[in-house]
Chains A and B, each alone.
Chain A
Amino acid sequence: MKSDLDLEPGDLLVILRHGPHGTSWLREGLDAALVAAAFGRRVSLLFMGEGVSALVTGQQAGPLGQKGTAPTLEMLAMYDIETLWVEDEALSSLGLAEGDLMLPTRPLAAEAIERAVAAHPLVLTF
């Protein structure tokens, strides 16, 4: 298992732990990430737990009229947010593989997550 974070940590780590439609946590967490990036901060994103489901391909707007988050996720590259990590354990517990995700991500094991959190001066959890 590749355990070292060979990517340089950013100024800010945003942890996303909620799926797209049930609450606004994911959307508002992504907003924080985009704003930070727009202000020139280097942002890393970590999808944990149910948050991993946000990355599943084919996401649409919510059937109840929610806006949906897939279009926002597609804009991450435009904002130079390219460090995308997913919790390895969440992937397997949801029965997902990297190939099911809409963006290139890097799975992190629990101890790598610890180090990612420790390496960032600011961590915001949504």
Chain B
Amino acid sequence: MRYAILLMGAPYSHQASHSALRFARAVLARGHRLEAVFFYHDGVHNAARLASPPQDEPHLVDAWAVLGSEHDVPLQVCIAAALRRGLLDSREASRHGKAGHSVEAPFELTGLGQLVDLGLRCDRLVTFGP
């Protein structure tokens, strides 16, 4: 089946991110397709490249990035939700005159239209949130 994940919980604040990550791995391990992970609402914080959790905790941002790169799963971050929460890629950072950027590949800033498209295109869109 073709799956997609919508993640709306911030990492380390809620279980949502941990659960979504495990679900994503399970989907892939079963041989299904994971068409994309879409990060919306507080879920956009999962794309914060500067996240530096203590070493004895899972590094959720890195884990998403690894999953995205190794399995070729697009990691799509809602641009409107991201920008207002301080999550900008280098292009947006320079457009807004900011000194640094907080989102980098394999995460990509994209529009909400992608979420609707994913939901209608896939067999299952599974939501994880607080």
Contacts and interface: CB of A to CB of B under 8 A. Distances in A.
Q: Is the interface of A mostly helix, strand, loop or mixed?
A: mixed
A35 B112 contact: yes
B115 A31 contact: no
A124 B113 contact: no
Q: What bracket does the count of chain A residues touching chain B fall in?
A: 10 to 19
B7 interface: no
A38 B115 CA distance: 13
Nearest to A41: B116
Given A24-B41, A28-B40, A35-B113, A124 B80 contact: no
Contacts of A31: 80, 112
Given A28-B41, A122-B125, A35 B120 contact: no
B119 interface: yes
A12 B119 contact: yes
A124 B127 contact: yes
Interface of B: 6, 40-41, 80-81, 111-113, 115-117, 119-120, 125, 127
Interface of A: 11-12, 24-25, 28, 31-32, 35-36, 38-39, 41, 121-122, 124-126
22 contacts: A11-B120, A12-B120, A24-B41, A25-B41, A28-B81, A31-B80, A32-B112, A35-B113, A36-B113, A39-B113, A39-B116, A39-B117, A41-B116, A41-B120, A122-B119, A122-B120, A122-B125, A124-B115, A124-B119, A124-B127, A125-B127, A126-B41
